[in-house]
Chains A and B, each alone.
Chain A
Amino acid sequence: AQSVTQLGSHVSVSEGALVLLRCNYSSSVPPYLFWYVQYPNQGLQLLLKYTSAATLVKGINGFEAEFKKSETSFHLTKPSAHMSDAAEYFCAVRYSGGGADGLTFGKGTHLIIQP
């Protein structure tokens, strides 16, 4: 079964510091990987996704993620945190099975930005 592990349920960084949110997946076949963000009282918004076209993926709001097959990882980074980045972040995986398949999500990481 496919699964996603997000290390750290809470991550706290200072404004202007590097943001690193970790995601590891379990897979024996190439996956499709997604990062979503959820602000309070809102649904999920796609930040970026990996679809095998390029290992370094750039997303919205200055975020990017690098797919590392050898480490089965897809960590999310942002060079300089902003107060508006405070939110819940979810890593998700789907395997190429054809048709409409649901996503398997990690438990989420709550990002706290210290002023």
Chain B
Amino acid sequence: ETGVTQTPRHLVMGMTNKKSLKCEQHLGHNAMYWYKQSAKKPLELMFVYNFKEQTENNSVPSRFSPECPNSSHLFLHLHTLQPEDSALYLCASSFSSGSGADTQYFGPGTRLTVL
């Protein structure tokens, strides 16, 4: 397996469910990201992890809880979501050199539908 993989690719959940999204990168990167892509809106950065430490939380509601156990894996734990949370959730990774020019590599995304 190469690149950035995400599972599941599609998820339907009720507002009272608890589920998790998984992301894995096979590129030897040290930074990982969660983005939310909603219809009619720009991609929104949610969380950033650098060397397993969360360095950015972009005012995301607490019903989204990230976890980064190591530099290759990133999770997004979901609980008591709202219908407006339905979106494509994209994971990305990069090798952070500190310059800002690093390329982020994206996974295919998880299409989440909240009923």
Contacts and interface: CB of A to CB of B under 8 A. Distances in A.
Interface of A: 4, 32, 34, 36, 41-46, 49, 51, 90, 92, 94-108
Contacts of A51: 99, 101
Interface of B: 4, 6, 30-31, 33, 35, 40-43, 45, 48-50, 55-56, 58, 90, 92, 94, 96, 98-109
Most A Cβ at <10 Å: residue of B42, B50, B99 = B42
Contacts of A44: 90, 92, 106
Contacts of B35: 102
Nearest to B45: A102
Nearest to A33: B101
A95 B100 contact: yes
Nearest to A9: B40
Contacts of B100: 32, 94-98, 101
A64 B11 CA distance: 37
A99 B45 contact: no
A5 to B, nearest CB: 10
Contacts of A32: 100-101
B58 A98 contact: no
Given A99-B50, A100-B50, A102-B56, A49 B101 contact: yes
Contacts of B90: 43-44
A107 to B, nearest CB: 5
A30 B105 CA distance: 23
A53 B109 CA distance: 32
